[in-house]
Amino acid sequence: MSTQGERLRQAIELAGFTKIAPFAESIGEPAVKVRQHINRDSIPSGMVEKYVRRLSSIGVTTDWLMFNKGKPPKGLKEAKSGTTRLFGEDRPAGASIQITHTVGAGDEIFPVHGDSPLGHVAAPPGYETGGAVAIKGDSGLPAFHDKDLLFYKEWESPPTRARQLPKRAVILELKDGRSYLKKLLLGSKPGRYHLLSINPTTPVIEDVAVNRMARIGWVWVEGSPLAD
């Protein structure tokens, strides 16, 4: 069964929006907020009416969007459950890992759009309940290359002391819902961080609030077999 975030994403695409930003602008909300609702699979009660009102022309109702009840929008293709999750909570322990997210321009992590993820890959030892993201294009240079797979075990809170900061790039989820592959540095005030790109041509993101992070513990280079 699909999640709230997946149903919202599907409805936005069905309404003719190929990107989140134009849809968010049409309802007077920042794109990062809409992405947060999609990626976290949770729509706050205060946003339901706004989404339903904007998408009612294609048949979106509150019952369908929030509870997957009633008649779905016309022309909707049911997506596989979990395709927008960054961390596969629904996957049984020991199962293969779905590659559902890619690292794109600016080291930002995006969910794969469509009816299915990129594929599955066997979990490395100790990573059976973790997750993975795929590098896309030149976004990870010079450290990573196109189609490299980065595996992580679990989420944790970001450290508050310099000596505890990870020495390498980590997967980061910001408070505003965006996700990145960045090196973490302490910001100019408590609770804020600078995000340093692994690609020297990408500007530093300064003083942002980080919700959680995941350390990369295993990398499969391009050419690793993916079994559907």
Per-residue pLDDT at 132 exceeds 60: yes
Q: Which residues contact 167 (CB under 8 A, 6 or more apart)?
A: none
Q: Which residues contact 87 (CB under 8 A, 6 or more apart)?
A: 130, 131, 155, 214
Look at residue 200 and tell me if it is in a domain: yes
Per-residue pLDDT at 225 exceeds 50: no
Eight-class DSSP state of 24: H
**Do 144 and 170 belong together in one domain?**
no
Cα of 17 vs its chain's centroid, Å? 19
**Do 46 and 19 belong together in one domain?**
yes
**Do 143 and 175 belong together in one domain?**
no
**Do 170 and 194 belong together in one domain?**
yes
Domain count, the chain: 3
What are the residues facing 88 on neighbouring strands? none
- Taking only the tens place, the pLDDT of each residue in 4-30 is 888 898 899 888 887 888 899 999 999
**In which band, very low, low, confident or very high, does the pLDDT at 222 lie, cut at 50, 70 and 90?**
low
CA–CA gap between residue 87 and residue 201 (Å, rounded): 29
Look at residue 180 and tell me if it is in a domain: yes
**In which band, very low, low, confident or very high, does the pLDDT at 115 lie, cut at 50, 70 and 90?**
very low
Which of 1-15, 49-63, 110-124 has the weakest average pLDDT? 110-124
pLDDT for the residue 85: 36
Higher model confidence: residue 127 or residue 85?
127
Look at residue 78 and tell me if it is in a domain: no
Across the chain, what does the average pLDDT equal? 81
Supply the pTM of this predicted model. Answer: 0.58
Domain ranges, residue 199: 162-217
Task: Map tokens 């949770």 to a residue.
Answer: 42
CB-count burial class (<10 Å; 0-12, 13-18, 19+) for 183: buried
pLDDT for the residue 165: 94
**In which band, very low, low, confident or very high, does the pLDDT at 101 lie, cut at 50, 70 and 90?**
confident
**Do 171 and 130 belong together in one domain?**
no
